[in-house]
Structure 1
Amino acid sequence: MRPQKVLDNEVFSALTKVFRAKGFEGASLKEIADATGLKKASLYHRFPDGKKQMAEAVFSYLDEWVQQNIFQTLKNTNLSPTERLDKSLFYINELYNNGAESCVFRTLSMKAGMELFGDLITNGMKQWIHHFEILGLAFGKPELEAKQNAIQNLIDIQGSLIVSEGLKDLDVFKNTLQQIKNRYKIE
């Protein structure tokens, strides 16, 4: 068997860039092939179910990264709550390239994407809320406040990515991460 010329991580990274930029409906097979360095036949060999399977692979790839870096950090009881918050915000900033990258929740939640990936999007958002809720409880917040803060964090992150892109001002995202940090300051 011939070794693969393009490694899986390179493929997943390229797929992620295309789907972040174009969404499910807007991403053409030509753009995907160009980005991955694979011919269409090779793409279909790796992803027999086509573009839908490619998008699912992106969800899986990003979910694994978020689980390992952000969620594990948010629930790591070997770190103080402040360290957990700081480290997770560092990883969130890395995930979204300082606010320059769109979130796949947004780009894949357009009409066809929501029909195909609605459960994955809903589950992903629930995980973000759950793990930020764990952090809030670690900071000693009452359960309701921890949940409300967790939901607000997700709204703030997602909203700031859209506004940063629309205004072409990455400081919006940077300032939002600081506001999230301030939300947990002990008074």
Structure 2
Amino acid sequence: MRPQKVQDAEIMTSLVKTFRSKGYEGTSLAELAASTGLKKASLYHRFPKGKQEMASAVLDFLEEWVDQHLFTLLLDENKTPEERIKEGIAEIRKSYDHGKETCIFRALSLGQSLELFEVQINRGMSKWIHAFKNIGIALGLTASEAQQQAVDTLIKIQGSLIVTRGMNDLAIFETTLQEIQTTYLKP
């Protein structure tokens, strides 16, 4: 059997980048093939259901990455809540390349594509809220206060990514992350 020229992780990384930059409806199969270095036939071999399966796989790939790199850290009760929030904010900064990257939730929830990926997007957002709610409770908030702060945190992260891109100002994302950390760690 011939070795694969392009590894799965490389393919997924390329698909993520393409969907992040163009959204679901704005991305063509030709662009997806070009970004991965594969021919359309090879993409269809890996993803027989086409572009929708590719985008769904991207959401699964990113969910797994975020589970391993962010949520595991935020939910690690072997660390203090202060350590968890500081390290979590650092990981968010890294995962969005300091605000340069668009969130995949935004990219795949525009237009009619939300209907295609609503369950995965909802699950992903719910995990974000759960992880930050856990931190809030560990820091002494009531369950309802922690829930509201977690929702506000998700809104701030997502909103700051949009405003950062729209204003072409990375400081907006950084300031927002600092404000989130301060809010959780306030004296």
**Where on the TM-score scale, by shorter chain, does this alignment land: which range?**
over 0.9
Q: Corresponding residue for 1:30?
A: 30
Amino acid in structure 2 at the alignment position of 1:12: M
Distance apart, 1:186 and its partner CA: 3.8
Amino acid in structure 1 at the alignment position of 2:137: L
Distance apart, 1:47 and its partner CA: 0.4
Query: Would the aligned equivalents of 1:69 and 1:91 in 2 still touch at CA under 8 Å?
Result: yes
Distance apart, 1:112 and its partner CA: 2.2
Distance apart, 1:142 and its partner CA: 1.3
Q: Corresponding residue for 1:123?
A: 123
Q: Corresponding residue for 1:86?
A: 86
Q: Does 1:103 align with 2:103?
A: yes
Distance apart, 1:3 and its partner CA: 1.0
CA distance in 1, matches of 2:186, 2:98: 26
Distance apart, 1:90 and its partner CA: 1.0
CA distance in 2, matches of 1:64, 1:2: 28
Distance apart, 1:111 and its partner CA: 2.1
CA distance in 2, matches of 1:143, 1:15: 38
For 1:34-53, what per-residue CA distance to the aligned partner results, in whole angstroms no more than 9, with x for missing partners?
11000101000000000001
Amino acid in structure 2 at the alignment position of 1:117: F
Amino acid in structure 1 at the alignment position of 2:10: E
CA distance in 1, matches of 2:39, 2:49: 16
Amino acid in structure 1 at the alignment position of 2:123: N
For 1:45-83, what per-residue CA distance to the aligned partner results, in whole angstroms no more than 9, with x for missing partners?
000000001001100110001000111011101111111
| TM-score, scaled relative to structure 2 | 0.98
How many residues matched? 187
Q: Corresponding residue for 2:21?
A: 21
Gaps spanning 5+ residues in structure 1: where?
A: none
Identity %: 50
Gaps spanning 5+ residues in structure 2: where?
A: none
Superposed CA RMSD in Å reads 0.8
Query: Would the aligned equivalents of 1:44 and 1:50 in 2 still touch at CA under 8 Å?
Result: yes
Q: Corresponding residue for 2:113?
A: 113
